[in-house]
């Protein structure tokens, strides 16, 4: 199973410096210079200028109604960190990333979880994604990261994955969000939305990806491809095919990336089904639909998604014949 069209020409033709850097380095194996050359690009500088002294980025809008006490600055910090780390290669050598990490760790509770986006309620999905960003930025050995991984393992469902505990609470009152965190019943179904996001922290970690608990979660996740989630958040099967970069919500691309990092082979039955979708749905220019419409921003996202997909294809040795 190989790709039908060459995606590299479309990726290189865009002329975007950061994207071209990663295409040449990661897909073509070229020597392109130090990653620091991306840190002074205009978009990266624009993001850095908006960082506050304590390391956070301020959320630009009003928090979602109905959830009092939300810390949406943590959500915005997650979003901006994703851009800096995944699109511009920032790491802990840059003082802005050090400050951002300090802010994130200030949101860690004594239990070990990052908290705030859902007010005082547990959020294993965002917790996993934020940890993954810090691990990718070089904070692998920080004790706060290990505590965060341990907390995730303590929150798994009996079937192997994760869910967001408040998904099982009805009705949800304004008071609930600021009350003691809800703990899920271990017998409730996992959510593939939550599992894919939580698993990301283990997948990008150089040693935690082999943890037996993480492996069990991975086995559960790959059995959910193209199925509806058990809970209403991004429940429809169509969400498996809505791609974005930097990675955020669980979809087919993020799941294949994580599973590839964890060593699953292309001939695994479920992974083979997932890879077949990318082979069968490749456009003539070599890239893929993102599921998020058209326009200038959408086309830019399509190219970054294309880079991410090509990296996955390389892991599974499908990019080149």
pLDDT digits (tens, 9 = 90+) for 51-91: 999 999 999 987 766 688 899 999 999 999 999 999 999 99
Residue 113, pLDDT > 60, answer yes
Q: Is the pLDDT of residue 321 over 60?
A: no
At 320 the pLDDT is 53
The whole-number pLDDT of residue 170 equals 84
Q: Which residues contact 112 (CB under 8 A, 6 or more apart)?
A: 147, 148, 150, 151, 154
Residue span(s) of the chain under CATH 1.50.10 come to 35-258
Contacts of 182 (CB under 8 A, 6+ apart): 121, 122, 165, 166, 168, 169, 176
Q: Are 124 and 156 in contact (CB under 8 A)?
A: no
Q: Dump pLDDT digits (tens) for 119-153.
A: 999 999 999 999 999 999 999 999 999 999 999 99
- CATH number, span 35-258: 1.50.10
Which residues are within 8 A (CB) of 17 and not within 5 positions of it... i.e. 6 or more apart? 38, 41
Tokens of 211: 């943890």
Q: Which tokens go with 135? A: 């691990």
Query: Under a CB-based contact definition with an 8 Å cutoff, are residues 77 and 100 in contact?
Result: yes
Burial classification of residue 58, based on how many CB atoms lie within 10 Å of its CB (0-12 exposed, 13-18 middle, 19 or more buried): exposed
How much is the average pLDDT of 240-265? 98
Alpha carbons 210 and 203: distance in angstroms, whole number: 9
């Amino acid at each position: 199973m190989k790709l039908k069209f060459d995606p590299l020409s479309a990726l290189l033709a865009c002329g975007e410096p950061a994207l071209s850097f990663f295409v040449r380095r990661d897909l073509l194996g070229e020597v392109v210079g130090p990653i620091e050359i991306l840190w002074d690009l205009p978009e990266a500088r624009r993001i850095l200028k908006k960082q506050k002294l304590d390391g956070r980025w301020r959320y630009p809008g009003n928090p979602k109604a109905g959830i009092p006490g939300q810390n949406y600055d943590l959500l915005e910090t997650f979003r901006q960190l994703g851009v800096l780390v995944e699109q511009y290669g920032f790491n802990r050598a840059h003082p802005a990333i050090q400050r951002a990490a300090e802010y994130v760790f200030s949101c860690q509770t004594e239990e070990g979880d990052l908290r705030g986006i859902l007010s005082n309620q547990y959020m294993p999905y965002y917790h996993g994604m934020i940890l993954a960003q810090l691990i990718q930025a070089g904070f692998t050995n920080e004790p706060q990261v290990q505590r965060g991984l341990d907390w995730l393992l303590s929150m798994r469902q009996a079937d192997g994955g994760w869910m967001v505990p408040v998904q099982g609470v009805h009705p949800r009152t304004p008071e609930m969000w600021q009350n003691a965190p809800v703990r899920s019943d271990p017998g409730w179904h996992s959510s593939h939305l939550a599992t894919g996001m939580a698993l990301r922290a283990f997948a990008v970690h150089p040693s935690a990806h082999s943890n037996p608990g993480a492996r069990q979660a991975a086995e559960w996740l790959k059995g959910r491809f193209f199925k509806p989630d058990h809970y209403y958040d991004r429940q429809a099967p169509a969400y498996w095919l809505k791609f974005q970069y930097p990675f955020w919500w669980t979809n087919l691309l993020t799941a294949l990336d994580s599973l590839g990092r964890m060593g699953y082979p292309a001939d695994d039955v479920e992974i083979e089904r997932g890879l077949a979708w990318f082979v069968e749905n490749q456009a003539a220019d070599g890239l893929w639909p993102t599921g998020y419409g058209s326009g200038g921003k959408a086309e830019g996202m399509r190219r970054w998604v294309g880079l991410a997909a090509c990296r996955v294809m390389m892991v599974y040795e499908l990019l080149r014949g």
